[in-house]
Structure 1
């Protein structure tokens, strides 16, 4: 309480007493001792009222002890069981959890991690990928304002994500890796990396790059072979020794027929080699007969042009040519789809040719679009011309049904600049994105698709889509989601397939550790999305003829099923409605590969770097008691006494108000009883 407040309280007490004395002793005609009681009651009432006006604030302190948190993170990936360290991992966790000194000194928080992070319930070591960097980043964010050393129980072999040995610099917590696995170096051959394009073109040759590694001290000879089925298509003799531990092998293979083609790369095994699984690796390519050529026509430079080209060409089946209107007219027959970027006066001839030849289009408008020309060149839509522009946020239409769209967190995307005024589409259409202004969703079109006169069209009524691609990267550390969104739109526009009541989204082949997720949309007879349908997928393994039926679950506006973990092989599938005769079929192949079985040893080097960069220390699984002793003695992890200060204003104290009311009532009652009022 401040000194000035104390002075005010003293003055209030004196003033209350003087006023009471003045009323009952100086001016009062009461002769009995009753006047002293009334003086006291009046002084209490006045003092209480003056206190409420001053409203002093009282501070109270609550003290408590805060123990540091000990984070236990356990690698739950398949490599732990493959290296026969699963039981040792469980023993280490049990020692840490059951130690009385650790429990007394720390608050324990236990997690398991693979590709993601989970609260530790049980350990089954069946995660098909491990991402220690992601786990450390999550712990760094959760425990940023605490003292929370991290014990990581792992073999250090990461199969997904960024390099974890440097991530500790951003975690701000000491990390103590407990090493699972053998640190002894054995002679071992492995295929470290295989680089090949997913799509190739018929009658072309495609490049294959193989990086072969060797660990050991002896000079060894081996042979690298590439098989297509039972046919040997490439072979090369390799030599390694202590100084030459890797070699890059490059070759080209011929694509002679359309479809998915699978290959196997193998290194001839060494005598007494412990891990032979990492000597082979399968890969696949999809042979297509032609590339989709897309013309992106512009008359002024804009960042959107580069963003669209990058996004579309992320799919190797497509090629984008950025052309001026005159150049496009010279090559008009070379393209299957035309993107018109902000058409103006120079697009007159292009617009007429597109209308005459019935070419599919994707129109993108903006500040320099000449809407008079665009309105007059076709009969499909009309924009109200105001020559005023507004920034509009995108809002996804969850009922959009022309093709399957994932929500890219459009709410976080920057707004696009668009003509103020409504866009009226005069043919049947579907809105993919609505406009939102100042948090209010309108019915105005930002992005829509429609079909007319046996052609397909899309219109994006706004510029600066390059900002969306950048924001997508900020959200996910990857351009993939945005690029896939644009490519689905391009695939729809460049295809002549008719609309179906069930749309499906899947890949023609998956690598062994990929997530195998199949998505579907179902529409009723009026082609309205039905979110109450009962869909299932019938999956048939073509090699062993086994058949499984799995239901599809509604998730984010799509029906999905996650088939990750099924065995490698060729599969046919049918997605069907369980009460109507509506179905669609497809096929895919899963290539045999388990990245978690590619390791022979623990990665001591990276775990040491992780510990050093975080001011922690590396321990082996048989040194767990030494780690416990270190954690209990380290002064950085002492229990801290903290206090909480509560400031309570007197006006919140109800007892004072009660005292004022009570004193006034007693004073009134005494005076009334004695006939003084």
Structure 2
């Protein structure tokens, strides 16, 4: 630590400070007669004290600064990351990795601690700090490890990263590409078994998440076999104790794969569990990957959506394709003049540029009003604005001689009818403008605006997409045409239409949702929002709301829930209170079906909510157990590191110690501070002045 003194004035200004102190002391004491009889040291001390005090005070008029330079030495950082997934111990060396290997790794990392700043992590489906290795993680995400290192150690002296893994990943991107941005060498410790051993694998089961009662739904079973040529296995699909499908499979060759299509009938509503199993074959390395469970949510029926258009239009195709991507919806589209069917059974009507002068659809509008169906209007150039304004009272669309505006969507911060994902929230501002009628819109005060119009750079209060509700009937209006461009943009930018589909899906969900007038509401929640199917490594979450008789949210009473498994065992939890609602993280549950019953007592009334959820097995780690050492070698080679094996830890330590670029770094921190802020300066001046006053006092000068 070094100190330097600075001032904004030339240093020769110190002479003026000294001169001021000397002059003040000389004038005060050179002709002072009262101290002639005092001891000699008093006559000398008093002018010196006054000289020092005045000189220091004068010096501080120069605004002196103190420069403090602190130097610290940072050891090079070595990061050790252990693959903590199930696949590491799925081979023949599982005992070694669970015992001797862990002792060796602990000793290896400890030996590096004297020279390096060591940081230890484990990775699987989550990144954890420390030596907590149990090889029970259900997934492997190596990319997230590099992201974590970048977040925690950016601009730090990272000497090297050591990754001990079998090279198998089943979550996230290919780590070879995600590691390309790293500025440090990666050393890899190759674990696992690369030999091809006898194994029968139920690779994948493809099925719809939802089916409808009374319908058949497809299931595709994919299996593979290694070194089992000529053997026979039986594939079965069962529900509880009932076997619904059985087929014998002859394994043709030592590297065999096939798929089996199955049609199952959905007979009961609710969450249904189906078990797919391959009978064991002698000599398999593992039987755990011969079984999978799937869960199908069987519903009573799909939502029926009717799209009516004045004429063929790309907006109609975009909306229809978005709805058809969701198996919850059954979509029909017609030109309005060609539609002569009953509206019975439909849950929503979407009208594109209707009514128009060509298609006034008066009878159809009367039927919609009679059925009290929700309607989503899409306005456009063919719309008859006077007819539309007379049709409803939610919005008055301007009619300025057919003039249009290019209106960009501006997401409203106050919209609350449904949640908008962060992806849609951030990307909506990039959507192309819609061609919207020009003028001043007048909307019902109760309307909820999702998007307002942005004309050029001007943010307006004119609506672009809004929703209203009168009684139990809901209406939505898109004040412009051209949303088909939004779908193309989404695909061009992201390679899919997920954001556009979300907008359409949540809009239709709002229309199809029945008004909930209950005083107690409970929903399941997970990492991806509302859900009723979880993986075995996911926490099961609940959200709850309680209302009083005035339909105001309250959270004074206690809310509890009892979860029951298939065996009748019960687990009871109490919800945590949030600002005005309730939340519960019930933790992870074993694979199976569960029922829950939540209760709350408000005054003398007791409310209850029932439901069910399922927990699925996550078996990706045991599907492929052949270690990928080529990936580990490529990671190390590309970054300037090297791959070693589990019995070469001493070699790895020697490689690290031999590197000339893994060295400590010295950091200098410079800090400027006003000297006058130093407390000891104040006490020094106070001491000088007080001492002078005291000497004068005891010698009769005051």
Q: Normalised by the size of structure 2, how large is the TM-score?
A: 0.71
Q: Which of these residues, 596, 612, 623, is aligned with residue 648 of structure 2?
A: 623
Cα contact 1:181–1:602 (8 A) shared by 2:
yes
Q: Post-superposition shift, 1:279?
A: 1.7
Cα contact 1:201–1:255 (8 A) shared by 2:
no
User: Which runs of 5 or more residues in structure 2 are unaligned?
Assistant: 1-5, 23-30, 32-47, 455-459, 525-530, 689-702
Partner of 1:573: 596
- Distance 1:175-1:513 versus aligned 2 partners, 3 A rule: same
Q: Deviations over 1:131-181 (max 9, x none)?
A: 222122221233232232222333444343223343211333323333443
Find the aligned partners of 2:306 and 2:550 in 1 and give their Cα distance: 34
Q: Post-superposition shift, 1:586?
A: 2.0
Partner of 2:224: 213
Q: Post-superposition shift, 1:249?
A: 1.2
Q: Post-superposition shift, 1:276?
A: 0.9
Find the aligned partners of 2:511 and 2:613 in 1 and give their Cα distance: 24
Partner of 1:337: 348
- Distance 1:615-1:53 versus aligned 2 partners, 3 A rule: same
Q: Say which SS state the counterpart of residue 172 (structure 1) adopts.
A: coil
- Distance 1:558-1:107 versus aligned 2 partners, 3 A rule: farther
Cα contact 1:414–1:467 (8 A) shared by 2:
no
Q: Which of these residues, 569, 573, 595, is aligned with residue 546 of structure 1?
A: 569
Find the aligned partners of 2:678 and 2:420 in 1 and give their Cα distance: 55
Q: Which of these residues, 254, 257, 262, is aligned with residue 247 of structure 1?
A: 257
Q: Post-superposition shift, 1:52?
A: 8.9
Partner of 1:139: 149
User: Which runs of 5 or more residues in structure 1 are unaligned?
Assistant: 22-29, 31-39, 664-677
Where do 1:635-674 residues align within 5 Å?
A: 635-646=660-671
Q: Post-superposition shift, 1:523?
A: 2.5
Where do 1:106-255 residues align within 5 Å?
A: 106-120=116-130, 122-148=132-158, 149-201=160-212, 204-216=215-227, 219-229=229-239, 230-242=242-254, 245-255=255-265
Q: Say which SS state the counterpart of residue 637 (structure 1) adopts.
A: coil
Which stretch of structure 1 is more off in the superposition, 116-125 or 10-19? 10-19
Which stretch of structure 1 is more off in the superposition, 321-330 or 523-532? 321-330
Cα contact 2:73–2:665 (8 A) shared by 1:
yes
Cα contact 1:222–1:267 (8 A) shared by 2:
no
Which stretch of structure 1 is more off in the superposition, 134-143 or 366-375? 366-375
Find the aligned partners of 1:577 and 1:384 in 2 and give their Cα distance: 50
- Distance 1:168-1:88 versus aligned 2 partners, 3 A rule: farther
Where do 1:255-266 residues align within 5 Å?
A: 255=265, 257-259=267-269, 260-266=271-277
Cα contact 2:168–2:628 (8 A) shared by 1:
yes
Find the aligned partners of 2:55 and 2:518 in 1 and give their Cα distance: 84
Q: Say which SS state the counterpart of residue 91 (structure 1) adopts.
A: helix
Q: Say which SS state the counterpart of residue 194 (structure 1) adopts.
A: strand
- Distance 1:16-1:263 versus aligned 2 partners, 3 A rule: closer
Partner of 1:86: 98
Cα contact 1:393–1:411 (8 A) shared by 2:
yes
Partner of 1:503: 521
Which stretch of structure 1 is more off in the superposition, 127-136 or 599-608? 599-608
Where do 1:392-403 residues align within 5 Å?
A: 392-395=410-413
Please tell me whether residue 520 in structure 1 is matched to residue 544 in structure 2: yes
Where do 1:207-606 residues align within 5 Å?
A: 207-216=218-227, 219-229=229-239, 230-242=242-254, 245-255=255-265, 257-259=267-269, 260-288=271-299, 290-295=301-306, 312-320=323-331, 335-339=346-350, 349=361, 352-353=365-366, 354-362=368-376, 376-379=390-393, 392-395=410-413, 405=419, 408=422, 412=426, 414=428, 423-425=443-445, 451-457=469-475, 487=505, 490-496=508-514, 498-506=516-524, 507=531, 509-510=533-534, 512=536, 516-542=540-566, 544-554=567-577, 559-563=582-586, 565-578=588-601, 580-606=605-631
Q: Say which SS state the counterpart of residue 581 (structure 1) adopts.
A: strand
Partner of 2:112: 102
- Distance 1:562-1:628 versus aligned 2 partners, 3 A rule: same
Q: Post-superposition shift, 1:576?
A: 1.8
Q: Post-superposition shift, 1:283?
A: 2.1
Find the aligned partners of 2:261 and 2:212 in 1 and give their Cα distance: 17
Partner of 1:70: 78
Find the aligned partners of 2:626 and 2:230 in 1 and give their Cα distance: 20
Q: Post-superposition shift, 1:593?
A: 5.0
Cα contact 1:67–1:639 (8 A) shared by 2:
yes
Q: Post-superposition shift, 1:464?
A: 9.8
Find the aligned partners of 1:520 and 1:470 in 2 and give their Cα distance: 38
Q: Say which SS state the counterpart of residue 648 (structure 2) adopts.
A: helix
Q: Post-superposition shift, 1:638?
A: 1.0
Q: Post-superposition shift, 1:639?
A: 0.9
- Distance 1:575-1:16 versus aligned 2 partners, 3 A rule: closer
Aligned length: 654
Q: Deviations over 1:461-497 (max 9, x none)?
A: 8999999999999999998798668645533422446
- Distance 1:310-1:624 versus aligned 2 partners, 3 A rule: farther
Cα contact 1:76–1:127 (8 A) shared by 2:
yes
Find the aligned partners of 2:381 and 2:60 in 1 and give their Cα distance: 63
Q: Say which SS state the counterpart of residue 105 (structure 1) adopts.
A: coil
